[in-house]
Structure 1
Amino acid sequence: MADRRLALLASLLMAAPCAQADSVRCHIVYGGEPFTVDATPTDAPYRVPAQKIGRYFEFKAVYVTAPARAAAINLYVYAIASGEPVPIHQAKHRPPFLASGGPHGFTGLHFVYEPSKGSELQYWCERLP
């Protein structure tokens, strides 16, 4: 099972479209299907929309660079099994942002579970210079 996950993540890297300079790319696997979410620097973090991932999840990546005191990469996972998005996971990464922290970027590999269905979403993110 772990080999299959690694193969899926590797295929994400090869199949992913080019990202804009100074961006964040998150690699997501849900139900064996790969997804990619890109984020570029924004000064309007509350306007960044979440993206639907499969049937039960939404994922949002927010990359804030200014003002400097608020600089962060914020990652959110929402469960939508009940119809309305409910936040179930949040991660905040402060500068310095590393281009890569290993095989699973600066975040490491995360596993997030939808509470009522038990569905699993996996993700990791990297910063692209």
Structure 2
Amino acid sequence: MNRRTMHILVALVGVAASASASADSVRCHVIYGGETWTLDAAPTTSPYQVRNQKIGRYFEFKLINAELSNTGRFVRIYTYAMSSGDPVLIHQASYRPPFDARNADWGFTGFQYVYEPSKGSELQYWCQYLA
């Protein structure tokens, strides 16, 4: 096998691996302060190990895509305010299958708005299921 063929095979294996990794994943699009973050979550059996993602100065966002033997499949979304320096939960949403798009443009969550109470900052998000 020549070097060029080896590089092509390695590239194809990488594409196949990334395609299988995205199966059953959830992707959220988070908008704050004119910036957009894209967060992906593959199914996990350890939802308590998922870490918050810092969004701008005043928010943290947690996306959990879990598959547990005792409770089944679920997606949970948590938004925390950070104005005091410590995360304070200000929004939580839970979803169970089927994760069909309620709206073709805004995924299974629809377009959501979350407001930080002391500063009045607005975060927006919507999430889609990647089959």
TM-score range relative to shorter protein: 0.7 to 0.9
User: Deviations along 1:32-60, whole A, 9 cap, x unmatched?
Assistant: 11111111100110110010000000000
Query: Structure 2, unaligned stretches of length 5 or more?
Result: 1-18
- Percentage of identical aligned residues: 58
| Paired AA for residue 102 in structure 2 | G
Moved >4 Å (runs of 4+): none
TM-score w.r.t. the length of structure 1 is 0.81
| Paired AA for residue 34 in structure 1 | T
What is residue 33 of structure 1 aligned with on the other side?
Answer: 35
Q: Highest CA radius of gyration, 1 or 2?
A: 2
TM-score w.r.t. the length of structure 2 is 0.80
SS of the aligned residue for 1:97 comes to: coil
SS of the aligned residue for 1:65 comes to: strand
**CA shift for structure 1 position 68:** 5.8
Residue of structure 2 aligned with 1:110, choices 103, 109, 112: 112
1:101 maps to 2:112: no
Output aligned runs, 1:1-129, within 5 Å: 20-67=22-69, 69-98=71-100, 100-102=101-103, 103-129=105-131
Partners of 1:75 and 1:53 lie apart in 2 by 14
Partners of 1:70 and 1:62 lie apart in 2 by 13
Q: Which deviates further from its counterpart, 46-55 or 89-98?
A: 89-98
Q: How many residues are matched?
A: 111
**CA shift for structure 1 position 21:** 2.0
SS of the aligned residue for 2:71 comes to: helix
What is residue 9 of structure 1 aligned with on the other side?
Answer: none
Query: Structure 1, unaligned stretches of length 5 or more?
Result: 1-17
